[in-house]
Amino acid sequence: MKKILVAGATGKQGSATAYELLQNGFEVFALTRNPQSQEAIQLEKAGAQLVKGDLEDVEVLRKTLGKVDGLYLVLPGVWVSSVETDEAEAALGIQTLKLAEEQGVQFVLYSSVMASDKQHTFRPKFKFTIEKYLLESKLQGAVIRPASFMENLILPSFGLGEGKFVNPLPEETAISWIATKDIGTFARIILQNYKYFNGKTIDFGGELFTPKQVLELLEEKLNQPIEFIQVPVEILYQQSETFAQLVEMIAKEGYDPINYDLISSWMPKLTSFEEWLDTEGGSKIKELQAAAN
């Protein structure tokens, strides 16, 4: 299996996976809405074949799926979720899997989200719906459920550009964090060893940190005080009921334990939070702060 279609190839997960595959002998078809973007141009220079379109372009998708052996499927991000956006995502994911079945794709790796099964109680049509369809279909496939991205801290909603750490999560609950480049590496490992991973669901994450521990690490690495702002769940409900319910679920139940033995048997070293801040995150946060000033 050498030819892989990477959905969302210019996004965080997609690009990390595309570059890993290219560096390890795969032929990559990179699905992108804008082939003229800097990210797409860099992928093409690295050896990817650009495919203009997105997952809603059925004919483009059908044609491309007929050329490949495997599919790395990640759905477009939704920052303000609702019942309507959840249902639309589930429908798009299943439509894509049906096209993969139709075109005889050998293996599909679907990138979901940690605790998707627990969210099923209040998000009945969402990522877990796509997972179930894949694993119950005639397709060979696996599901990877990444933890919180370290890169998300660079988003404006976290406020680090203004010297603040806006935290919507339970203040005392430790959650797992992962660098997106590690997702790309593990995705490549799964695709290289797809027969072993067929039918499996893997929670993929690294170190556990409470929000206050993240704050302490940020202050240490950036060498500056940062204002901690805890967002009340009432405010979250005003912004997105589904996200507020997720936060309540995390506070009440937490996440299931990650099988670190499985991960380390295939990938002995993950990027630590400190490493990410030293090599990438710290400089990007300082760039945000400089732009804000």
Give the count of domains, the chain: 1
Q: What is the CATH number of the domain that holds 28?
A: 3.40.50.720
Assess if residue 141 is contained within a domain: yes
Assess if residue 165 is contained within a domain: no
Please give the Cα distance from 142 to 262 (Å, whole number).
15
Assess if residue 66 is contained within a domain: yes
Assess if residue 245 is contained within a domain: no
Assess if residue 244 is contained within a domain: no
What sign for the dihedral angle of Cα 234, 240, 243, 249?
Answer: positive
User: Please, are residues 49 and 213 in contact by the beta-carbon 8 Å criterion?
Assistant: no
Assess if residue 169 is contained within a domain: no
Q: Is 104 left (phi over 0), alpha (psi -120 to 50) or beta?
A: left
Read off the pTM: 0.95
Assess if residue 116 is contained within a domain: yes
pLDDT values of the chain reduced to their tens digit, one per residue, 293 residues: 899 999 999 999 999 999 999 999 999 999 999 999 999 999 999 999 999 999 999 999 999 999 999 999 999 988 788 999 999 999 999 999 999 999 999 999 999 999 999 999 899 999 999 999 999 999 999 999 999 999 999 999 999 999 999 999 998 899 999 999 999 999 999 999 999 999 999 999 999 999 999 999 999 999 999 999 999 999 999 999 999 999 999 999 989 999 999 999 999 999 999 999 999 999 999 999 998 87
* Residue 54 CB-half CA count within 13 A: 12
Assess if residue 101 is contained within a domain: yes
From the list 188, 161, 5, the residue with the least C-alpha distance to 97 is: 5
Task: Write out the residue range of the structural domain in which residue 73 sits.
Answer: 3-146+179-205+256-271
Q: What is the pLDDT of residue 78?
A: 82
Q: What is the pLDDT of residue 83?
A: 92
